[in-house]
Amino acid sequence: MKRTSSTKTPATSDDAPKLTQADFDRARLRVAGKDVSRAEWQAAVRARVSKLRINIMLDAPIVDHFKALAGERGYQTLINDTLRRVIETGHLEADLRRVIREELAHG
């Protein structure tokens, strides 16, 4: 009779190839899914270190919207990145008007 089952041993971390300096030299630096310069990457790393844990109340449709957009990335990260982008661009009023128009059109 033919044997139909097999037992495989689980993969271990030793199965991964060793990384070399050449591997790191070829690495693409990415922040929020976008290629960035080394300076931009370092600034993003520094910004992450200075996070502050707070509690904030958000409307359920806002959270639902960001959860739907975020996928595996994490909706809180997406909200944080969106707020940072608004601050950096200085277009809060125009962006807020656009978001309100979009929400009204969908509602």
Per domain, the residue ranges of the chain are 25-53, 55-107
Tell me the residue length of the chain.
107
Q: With 60 as the cut, is the pLDDT of residue 7 above it?
A: no
Kindly state the average pLDDT of the residues 12-22. Answer: 78
pLDDT 10s digits, 61-91: 999 999 999 887 789 988 988 888 878 777 7
Kindly state the average pLDDT of the residues 16-37. Answer: 87
As a 3-state breakdown, the chain gives helix, strand, coil percent values, each rounded to 5, of 55, 5, 40
For CA atoms 73, 32, 94, 92, the dihedral sign is positive
Virtual CA dihedral for 20, 26, 32, 36, nearest 10 degrees? 130
